[in-house]
Amino acid sequence: MTFPNPQDVREATAARQGSGPAISPAASPVVVEARKLSLVYPTADKPVTALSEVDLTIARGDFVSLIGPSGCGKTTLLRVIADLERPTSGHIAIEGMTPEQARLKRLYGYVFQAPALYPWRTVERNVMLPLEIMGLPKAERRQRAREQLERVGLSGFERKFPWQLSGGMQQRVSIARALALQPDLLLMDEPFGALDEITRDHLNLHLTQLWRATGKTCVFVTHSIAEAVFLSTRIVVMSPRPGRILDVIDCDSLPRERTLDIRESPEFAAIAHRVREGLKEGHSYDD
Ligand code: ADP
Ligand code: MG
């Protein structure tokens, strides 16, 4: 049984508060723009520079993966985009707005590493919870929940409890919950990190199809090179101490429509190689 971490719940609640419709697809082609973004955590010991002068532009419809070793600031960057953390210096805009304005307009959905589902609520009622907080009428809540559960392949599981589902299915519920908010931007922090490789392959395939079908802009954190290459239109390679961007790799050489067998292609191997080289560079810096 997975009990939500209280901090995740607070964050998820913060992420869902506010009012106003999601921005229409006709809005700005740039969804995230960060310039010289730095964040220093003041700790009792000594300050930790989690992000150092990060420059990043994410266009509408992009699938951007952030990859790098633990502690390189991936979660921090996602949290800054989501207005869960304030940068120490630099500039960040989400569709031309401050992260706070974007949060209040419910522009993004956030998927945490752990599914953070309430065990006493059915699958459907878990997906409906943020919609309840938004004050949507019950019929609309139910309709949106059903639509999104169908999208993630969980029709027929509405009345189950989270603990009756596998880890992969629970994570799909949590993606459905984020999508039910109809966000422009989907932020995902290692959503498949705790799953076995076969389940992960299956969910990667599902996610790429979902991304193509919905046209959402995605920012996806991962440790897995194969996962990053398979899913992304662009890969951001990061390194720790201080957290910074080492390389941004375009995956234009791969088709937009992807099946698992593209992983055998020379184009896939070439991108994976470049990611690996970038990570190596970051590592030697660390020694
Ligand atoms: P990642 O997600 O890439 O593993 P994080 O963004 O979680 O990295 O962390 C980046 C760095 O900031 C790490 O050195 C981590 O220990 C530190 N850090 C993260 N959150 C806090 C916090 N709330 N207070 C102090 N240090 C933190
Ligand atoms: Mg992290």
CA–CA separation, 69 and 75 (whole Å)? 11
pLDDT digit string, tens, across residues 195-207: 888 889 989 999 9
How much is the pLDDT for 27? Answer: 59
pLDDT digit string, tens, across residues 62-104: 999 999 999 999 999 999 999 999 999 999 999 999 999 999 9
Query: What's the mean pLDDT in 46-56?
Result: 95
For the chain, percent of residues with pLDDT exceeding 90: 78
Pairing mode, if any, of strands 89-94 and 30-41? Answer: antiparallel
How much is the pLDDT for 241? Answer: 85
Q: How far is the CA of 76 from the centre of ligand 1 (A)?
A: 6
pLDDT digit string, tens, across residues 110-146: 999 888 999 999 999 999 999 999 899 999 999 999 9
Q: How far is the CA of 189 from the centre of ligand 2 (A)?
A: 7
How much is the pLDDT for 141? Answer: 95
282 CB near ligand 1 (under 6 Å): no
- The domain segmentation of the chain, as residue ranges, is 6-107+184-281, 119-182
CA–CA separation, 21 and 28 (whole Å)? 15
In the beta sheet, which residues pair with residue 33? 57, 93
pLDDT digit string, tens, across residues 147-160: 999 988 999 999 99
Look up the CATH number of domain 6-107+184-281.
Answer: 3.40.50.300
CA–CA separation, 55 and 41 (whole Å)? 19
In the beta sheet, which residues pair with residue 238? 245
Using 50, 70 and 90 to split pLDDT, how confident is the model at 173? very high
Whether 16 has a pLDDT exceeding 50, the answer reads no
- Taking the model in full, what pTM does it have? 0.88
Nearest residue (CA) to ligand 1, atom 24: 41
